[in-house]
Amino acid sequence: MYICGVGRTKFGKLELELPEIMTEAVTKALIDAKLRLKDIDAIFISNNLAGLNQGQLHLNSLLATILKIDIPIFRLESTCASGGATFYNSLFSLSKFKNILVLGVEKMTGLASDLLSTNIGTTSDLNLDQEQGFIFPVGAAMIIERYEKRFGNVMDDLALISLKNHENGNLNEYAHFYGKEVTLEKIKGSRTIVGKLRLYDCSPVSDGAVALVVSKQKRDRRSIKIQACEMATGPISLSLNPRTSMPAVKTACKRALSSAGMKILDMDLIEIHDGYTIIELITMEDLGLCKPGQAGKLIREGKTKLNGKIPINTDGGLKANGHPIGATGLAQIYEIVTQLRGEAGKRQVNAKTGLAHNIGGMVGSCVVSIFKRD
Ligand code: COA
């Protein structure tokens, strides 16, 4: 199975509504794949919030109306892991179909901040979390507290993660914060959101869409092989997870590496789901890049920068590329495909293999995918 075409919109505050955002990504992916809509056998849509934010469910039928098609279209939701979970499910359909399209979309801006936080928070446990006042920034602040109790001060390392991701995002013209100058001082001095969590430790609220054309056969030399795609689920509530580690991440990663017949250190680049900077840090440990408590050392040594041994989030990650929830998991794949094709311009790294880590909640679902240039 191969990714034969990719297309995306810019991420950020877009003056477009769901139909236009979806259409732009689909059109670009088809052009990139040199295919026409009539060549696509089925479409899989990833979306999390349209029901709550826009009052619009049944995006599959909405898309059929816009594109004037009648092929099977499905919509799947797994909170911030919607993209990865939709991609995972779509691959089974290639036993029947030749070319499919996977589309991720979200419109998040334009709502009052507290209403949006409540909407995003519905993806946590109703009784254990929501009714106790849990929202996601609170969860991230709790993980920072847990990590510091165990391993000591981490805030300077988190600032370095944020800086790296903003530097990378500044080389990605589609990124939410493309063109925004960000310094270490600005990050460290940014306003507190909750607990020790600063503004620059958070991913932003973004609109955007990404589409991928996935084919059963290799189409041309730009086609990128899907070496593995595995998923694991875990407890929905942070209070049920261990202190500074996410079992679903470890399991999904182990399954994907085993299915690919590879080791984590075989990866030339990694996209980590840095919804908050602390998540990038603990994920480096859960993926097995280093022992627990050691991720900060790799970050301080510059190992995860563009010119480092294991570049992480070359597109800017969720922090700077942006986080339109339903599109995010596919944006990670878009970046890996772009890098493996050698088409990443100023942020190009030397890569033959790449891994995408996409999570939902903290951490209720995790999808890990591995790609290879062959
Ligand atoms: N990082 C850096 N700057 C940010 C930012 C972020 N995460 N979020 C907003 N800003 C900037 C805006 O660009 C704007 O800058 P400007 O004044 O120069 O234009 C300014 O801060 C105010 O933006 P606003 O949208 O009013 O901020 P806010 O206080 O309403 O929202 C957060 C800030 C952190 C609460 C919001 O971005 C958020 O909720 N992020 C997390 C989203 C989430 O939970 N996603 C899923 C979890 S994985």
Residue 241 has pLDDT above 90, yes or no: no
Tens of pLDDT, residue by residue over 156-167, are: 999 999 999 999
CA of 2 to the centre of ligand 1 (A): 36
* Inside any domain, residue 267: no
Residue 74 sits in which domain range?
Answer: 2-111+206-215
Contact between residue 9 and residue 90 where contact means Cβ atoms under 8 Å apart: no
* 322-340: average pLDDT: 99
Distance from C-alpha of 180 to C-alpha of 187, rounded to nearest angstrom: 12
* Inside any domain, residue 200: no
* Inside any domain, residue 254: no
Distance from C-alpha of 112 to C-alpha of 202, rounded to nearest angstrom: 17
Q: What's the confidence (pLDDT) of residue 228? A: 98
**pLDDT band at 262; cut points 50, 70, 90:** very high
Buried b / exposed e over 349-369, threshold 16 CB at 10 Å, is bebebbbbbbbbbbbbbbbbb
The tokens 């979970």 sit on which residue? 85
- Taking the model in full, what pTM does it have? 0.98
Mapping DSSP to helix (H, G, I), strand (E, B) and coil, where does residue 78 land? Answer: strand
Domain count, the chain: 1
* Inside any domain, residue 307: no
Distance set, CA 158 to CA 147, 196, 201, 226 (Å): 12, 11, 7, 31
* Inside any domain, residue 192: no
* C-beta 193 within 6 A of ligand 1: yes
CA of 141 to the centre of ligand 1 (A): 16
Q: What's the confidence (pLDDT) of residue 240? A: 86
* Inside any domain, residue 123: no
3-state secondary structure 2-19: EEEEEEECCCECCCCCHH
Q: What's the confidence (pLDDT) of residue 26? A: 98
Length in residues, the chain: 374
Residue 77 sits in a domain of what CATH number? 3.40.47.10
Strand-pair category, 224-233 with 197-198: unpaired
* C-beta 210 within 6 A of ligand 1: no
Min mean pLDDT across 52-66, 124-138, 176-190, 251-265 is at 124-138
Distance from C-alpha of 364 to C-alpha of 6, rounded to nearest angstrom: 28
* Mean residue pLDDT across the chain: 97
The tokens 């050392």 sit on which residue? 297
3-state secondary structure 186-250: HHHCCCEEECCEEHHHECCCCEEEEEEEEECCCCCCCCEEEEEEEEEECCCCHHHCCCCCCHHHH
Instruction: Among 199, 238, 282, say which to mutate for ligand 1: greatest number of ligand atoms within 8 Å of CB.
Output: 199
CA of 341 to the centre of ligand 1 (A): 32
Contact between residue 238 and residue 22 where contact means Cβ atoms under 8 Å apart: no
* Inside any domain, residue 59: yes
* 205-219: average pLDDT: 98
Q: What's the confidence (pLDDT) of residue 239? A: 85
- Taking the CA of residue 202 as reference, the ligand 1 atom at the shortest distance is 7
Residue 304's φ and ψ, nearest 5 degrees, are: -100, 5
Buried b / exposed e over 21-54, threshold 16 CB at 10 Å, is bbbbbbebbbebbebeeeebbbbbbbbbbbebbb
* C-beta 136 within 6 A of ligand 1: yes
**pLDDT band at 243; cut points 50, 70, 90:** confident
Tens of pLDDT, residue by residue over 187-202, are: 999 999 999 999 999 9
* Inside any domain, residue 165: no
* Strand ranges (E), 28-151: 42-46, 73-76, 99-106
CA of 175 to the centre of ligand 1 (A): 15
